[in-house]
């Protein structure tokens, strides 16, 4: 029989951590009325035939609370960057002055804030489901080990309890992230 150690749960914890980090990245991409350079993370341009993230072709600054300034290193990319921003779901019209691009973030309306909060809750629920699926996958793995008599029934019970503890920890982290993002979005 094999003894279960902390390493037995590590693959599931690692994947739960990855789920949480993906959720954080998605939350960072949601604009909250203030300038946040992370809203550009998913945008890319066609740079000499290659899809290239905007961060790799330009300097991105936040000179004021509601303005992002994008200064491309190659001025020929200005039009591509503007086109990428306009076709994205940012809902911001870029201002091109020939050398740089300004993104001015208007204050969010109450209705838009509520829509964003709903979106945050949907993303969080997707993350919770992913975490629970990982728990189920882990428990099924340990049940299979017990069925093959590689671990004892007591070890199986301990594994189920431990998987639930790990799951509860990550669900609590998701709740904390949701609470923080909701506070951020509803702040006027």
pLDDT score recorded for residue 29: 76
pLDDT score recorded for residue 107: 80
pLDDT score recorded for residue 170: 96
44, 87, 92: which is closest to 68 by C-alpha?
Answer: 92
Residues 55 and 98 in one domain: yes
pLDDT score recorded for residue 142: 92
- Of 50, 82, 104, which residue constitutes the final position of a domain? 104
> What is the domain range of residue 181?
6-28+109-186
Domain count, the chain: 2
Residues 22 and 113 in one domain: yes
- Residue-wise pLDDT tens for the chain (188 aa)? 677 777 888 999 999 999 999 999 888 877 666 777 887 888 888 888 889 888 889 999 988 888 889 999 988 888 888 888 888 877 788 888 889 999 888 787 888 888 889 999 999 999 999 999 999 999 999 999 999 988 888 989 999 999 999 999 999 999 999 999 998 888 76
- Here the CATH number for the domain that contains residue 63 is 3.30.1360.40
Q: Model-level pTM?
A: 0.73
Q: Rounded to whole angstroms, how far apart are CA atoms 174 and 180? A: 10
Q: Which spans in 36-101 are helix H?
A: 78-87
Residues 48 and 138 in one domain: no
Residues 50 and 86 in one domain: yes
Q: Report the Cα 55 to chain-centroid distance in Å.
A: 17
pLDDT score recorded for residue 33: 66
pLDDT score recorded for residue 131: 96
184: its two tokens: 């951020």
pLDDT score recorded for residue 50: 87
pLDDT score recorded for residue 31: 67
Residues linked to residue 70 through DSSP beta bridges, in sequence order: 60, 101
Residues 18 and 58 in one domain: no
Residues 150 and 177 in one domain: yes
Residues 47 and 85 in one domain: yes
Neighbouring CB atoms inside 10 A of 48's CB total 8
Whose structure tokens read 């709903």? 118
């Amino acid at each position: 029989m094999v003894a279960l150690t902390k390493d037995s749960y590590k693959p599931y914890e690692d994947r739960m951590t990855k789920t949480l980090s993906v959720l954080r990245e998605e939350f960072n991409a949601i604009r909250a009325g203030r300038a946040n350079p992370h809203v550009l993370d998913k945008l890319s341009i066609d740079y000499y035939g290659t899809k290239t993230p905007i961060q790799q072709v330009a300097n991105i600054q936040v000179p004021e609370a509601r303005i992002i300034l994008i200064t491309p290193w190659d001025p020929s990319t200005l039009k591509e960057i503007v086109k990428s921003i306009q076709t994205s779901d940012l809902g911001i019209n870029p201002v091109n002055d020939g050398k740089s691009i300004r993104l001015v973030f208007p204050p969010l309306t109450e209705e838009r804030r509520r829509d964003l909060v709903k979106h945050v809750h949907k993303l969080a629920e997707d993350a919770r489901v992913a975490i629970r699926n990982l728990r189920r996958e882990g428990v099924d793995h340990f049940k299979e080990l017990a069925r093959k008599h590689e671990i004892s029934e007591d070890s199986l019970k301990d594994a189920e309890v431990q998987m639930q503890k790990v799951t509860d920890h990550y669900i609590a982290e998701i709740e904390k992230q949701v609470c923080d993002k909701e506070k951020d979005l509803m702040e006027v």
